[in-house]
Amino acid sequence: MTEKYLSGRVAVITGSTSGIGLGIARALAGAGAGIMLNGFGEAAAIEALRKEIAGTGVPCAYNGADMSKPADIAGLIEAATRELGKADILVNNAGIQYVAPVGEFPAERWDAIIAINLSAAFHASQAVMAQMRARNWGRIINIASAHGLVASANKSAYVAAKHGIIGLTKVIALETAKTGITCNAICPGWVLTPLVQKQIDDVASRDNISVAKAKDLLVLEKQPSGEFATPEQIGALAAFLCTEHADQIRGASLPVDGGWTAQ
Ligand code: NAD
């Protein structure tokens, strides 16, 4: 898609230094939006990403807000508004994972997952709401998961946070239903990113199998297509949700999961 239908819009994408968030940042930049990057990583690598996106002809800035900290989240929206003029697309994407049965799940991992994967979306949405209402246009896109719709063992905090963000998505969609602001959730299945590579490596060493075999097993266990979804596919859906064709998609949870949640 070469049309710059998001020219003049500004998007804040949390956790966009890697994986799905980066795929979304590239897709929205490709449609012409200015981009505020966020996330952790090595300073030089992040600056290279910022330059790469700015090189496509859109304004691009970076803010290192820690999404577990409400004051940092407010600062992220302030920085986008100050440096790029406004924030009219918010993609709540930053997320972490931890895998253990409830009886052994460290309480501090529970707290961190709820803070980053769920509460951050509330704080960021709250911080952008007034300016979106003032312009009567906005897009809030929450990156939930197939685990927002169904559960898996050993992922209590993640599944709780992802079910929670789908609830938050519906409430924001209802509160903004008569405005030009929409709020929706995208529910990816397996996407091959560093977050998933770690789980593949853990399975390979736990079961003493090759990484390639662990990868196949992990995908086939859940995903009838047998294929990973890609950051580009998630990015393209996020970009579509920012078009006028999506004006009446409100409060939806949209799976991109190779059939996982159809079962
Ligand atoms: P990733 O590990 O590649 O990227 C996560 C991003 O979040 C990185 O930029 C990281 O720096 C950032 N981040 C982590 N903690 C942060 C914090 N405290 N403050 C700011 N940024 C922080 O992971 P990913 O797979 O791209 O995951 C992105 C989102 O997609 C997550 O919400 C994840 O739950 C969701 N998701 C991923 C998959 C998958 O299969 N990869 C499936 C469904 C949903």
Q: In this predicted model, what pLDDT tens digit does every residue of 86-139 receive, in sequence order?
A: 999 999 999 999 999 999 999 999 999 999 999 999 999 999 999 999 999 999
pLDDT of residue 3: 84
> In this structure, are 248 and 137 located in the same domain?
yes
Cα separation, 121 vs 48, whole angstroms: 27
Cα separation, 95 vs 68, whole angstroms: 10
The pTM is what? Answer: 0.97
pLDDT of residue 206: 93
The pLDDT confidence band at residue 213, using thresholds 50, 70 and 90, is very high
Please identify, by atom number, the ligand 1 atom nearest to the C-alpha of residue 40: 11
Let me know if 62 is a catalytic residue.
Answer: no
Mean local confidence (pLDDT), 22-30:
98
Contact in structure between 185 and 118 (CB atoms under 8 Å): no
Q: Across the chain, what does the average pLDDT equal?
A: 97
The pLDDT confidence band at residue 2, using thresholds 50, 70 and 90, is low
Q: In this predicted model, what pLDDT tens digit does every residue of 61-98 receive, in sequence order?
A: 999 999 999 999 999 999 999 999 999 999 999 999 99
Q: Is the CB of 223 under 6 A from ligand 1?
A: no
> In this structure, are 78 and 166 located in the same domain?
yes
Q: Could you tell me the distance, in angstroms and rounded to a whole number, from the CA of residue 37 to the centre of ligand 1? A: 13
Residue nearest to atom 44 of ligand 1 (CA): 145
User: Which of 12, 18, 91, 116 is the pocket-test mutation for ligand 1 (most atoms within 8 Å of CB)?
Assistant: 18
- Strands of the sheet containing 138-143, edge to edge, are 60-63, 34-38, 10-13, 89-92, 138-143, 181-188, 253-256
Q: Which whole-number Å values give the CA distances from 120 to 90, 112, 142, 245, 255, in the listed order?
A: 12, 10, 11, 28, 22
> In this structure, are 116 and 210 located in the same domain?
no
Phi-psi region for residue 15, left (φ > 0), alpha (ψ -120 to 50) or beta?
left
- What residue numbers bound the domain in which 75 lies? 10-191+230-262
CB-facing half-sphere around the CA of 2: CA atoms within 13 A? 0
> In this structure, are 247 and 149 located in the same domain?
yes
Q: In this predicted model, what pLDDT tens digit does every residue of 162-199 receive, in sequence order?
A: 999 999 999 999 999 999 999 999 999 999 999 899 98
> In this structure, are 173 and 212 located in the same domain?
no
> In this structure, are 179 and 197 located in the same domain?
no
| DSSP character at residue 103 | G
Contact in structure between 5 and 32 (CB atoms under 8 Å): yes
